Amino acid sequence: MANRFNIGDLEVYALVDGKATVDDRYMNGVTLEQWQPHKRWLTHDDRLELPFTSFLVRSGDKRVIIDCGLGPIKGGGYEGGAMMDDLATTGVTPAEIDVVFVTHLHADHVGWGATRDGDVLRVTFPNAAYRWTAAEQEFWSGDLPPQQIARRDIFAAVAPHFEPADGGTSLAPGIDVVAMPGHTPGHAGVVLSSGDQRAFLLGDAIACPVQLEEPEWSGVGDMDPALARRTQEAVAKEIEEGNALATASHFPGLTFGRVLRGEGKRYWQPVG
Ligand SMILES: [Zn+2]
């Protein structure tokens, strides 16, 4: 059952596709000893569980999906495939989705962009505009570094439905794109605004809440760690100062939280 939240008049459902289980070295150059004060973010056997979270947001009669999981793939510590069942529990069908916004084109965010039908891949959300930043589209259309896995099969299937959406673009009333580069060149998050409430969906701008306490730690997936950390600092400051809610694709618990401060450090406190 998808977790439901209200941000003012916006209805938000957190959908989960599955998770990746990775070891404690996921944070570049960080030793298990350095993890000791932060063990609450690790499993009992010192691993990190990263759920693949997507969001369905209803704004008036518009329905927007933000990120679409890994898709029905298992292996190497990665397990996906549950998102469409979670979506069904909301009562919204794939054909009713107006916009699919993807924060960045890593394989664990575009997996359900298209679905296999015999020999062909068809868009999973047939009436949706598929949107991400122009910089992201350009990067993934070019020659890639060898460690980057591109879902070119999915990109090809959704290409006729693609419309760029850069920072500042409104996807629907109260649902706006915010540029958050660094994890990938065109990575972007979303801010939800209604009445006096704001909530940030950070994509992979911050991989794990531990990074709010240890702002120098970078996940192995960050393509430009220095830029990613500058982006993180800017959004964390904005969330903290604005008393906004925030969550990210791989934060635990399928919930929002607040960015608070204690002993001079920021930390993420899940709500409810
Ligand atoms: Zn990711």
Q: Ligand 1 centre and the CA of 259: distance in Å?
A: 21
Query: Would you mind telling me the total number of residues written for the chain in this entry?
Result: 272
Spatial distance between the Cα atoms of 92 and 58, rounded to a whole number of angstroms:
10
Q: Can you tell me the distance from the alpha carbon of 137 to that of 140, in angstroms, rounded to the nearest whole number?
A: 5
Q: How confident is the model at residue 25 (pLDDT cuts 50, 70, 90)?
A: confident
Residue with tokens 């979670």: 86
From residue 187, how far is each of 36, 63, 66, 211, 223 by CA, in Å? Answer: 31, 22, 13, 18, 10
**Among 53, 65, 45, 44, residue whose Cα is nearest residue 20:** 53
The residue whose two tokens read 């209805």 is: 11
User: Which of 253, 168, 251, 174 lies closest to 211 in space, CA to CA?
Assistant: 251
**pLDDT value of position 23:** 85
Residue whose C-alpha is closest to residue 174's, from 92, 64, 14: 64
Q: What is the mean pLDDT of residues 40-53?
A: 94
- Report how far ligand 1's centroid is from the alpha carbon of 107 (Å): 8
What is the whole-number distance in angstroms between the Cα of residue 67 and the centre of ligand 1?
9
What is the 77 CA–ligand 1 centroid distance (Å)?
14
Mean pLDDT value across the chain: 95
Q: Which of 141-150, 192-201, 244-253, 254-263 has the weakest average pLDDT? A: 141-150
- pTM over cut 0.85: yes
What separation in Å is there between the alpha carbon of 27 and the centre of ligand 1?
14
Q: What proportion of the chain, given as a percentage, has pLDDT over 90? A: 92
Q: How far is the CA of 125 from the centre of ligand 1 (A)?
A: 21
DSSP string computed for 178-233: EE--SSSTT-EEEEEEETTEEEEE-TTSSSSTHHHHSTT--BTT-SSHHHHHHHHH
pLDDT for 255 beyond 80:
yes
pLDDT at 252: 94
Q: In whole angstroms, give the CA distance from residue 70 to residue 148.
A: 15
Asked if the model's pLDDT at residue 201 lies above 90, the reply is yes
Distance, CA of 59 to CA of 6 (rounded, Å): 11
Identify the pLDDT of residue 14. Answer: 97
- Cα–ligand 1 centroid distance for 180 (angstroms): 14
CA of 272 to the centre of ligand 1 (A): 25
Position 51 pLDDT exceeds 80: yes
Whether residue 24 is predicted with pLDDT greater than 80 in this model: the reply is no
23 CA distance to ligand 1 middle (Å) = 15
Separation of CA 89 and ligand 1 centre (Å): 24
Distance 54 CA to ligand 1 centre (A): 11
| Alpha helices (H) along 142-182 | 152-158
60 CA → ligand 1 middle, Å: 29
pLDDT at 1: 75
What does the pLDDT read at residue 47? Answer: 93
Phi, psi dihedrals of residue 252, rounded to the nearest 5°? -75, 155
Tell me, in angstroms, the distance from the centre of ligand 1 to residue 230's CA. 18
How far does the centroid of ligand 1 lie from the alpha carbon of residue 212, in Å? 17
Ligand 1 centroid distance, CA of 195 (Å): 30
157 to 37, 70, 77, 113, 187: CA distances (angstroms) = 45, 16, 27, 8, 21
| 105 pLDDT more than 90 | yes
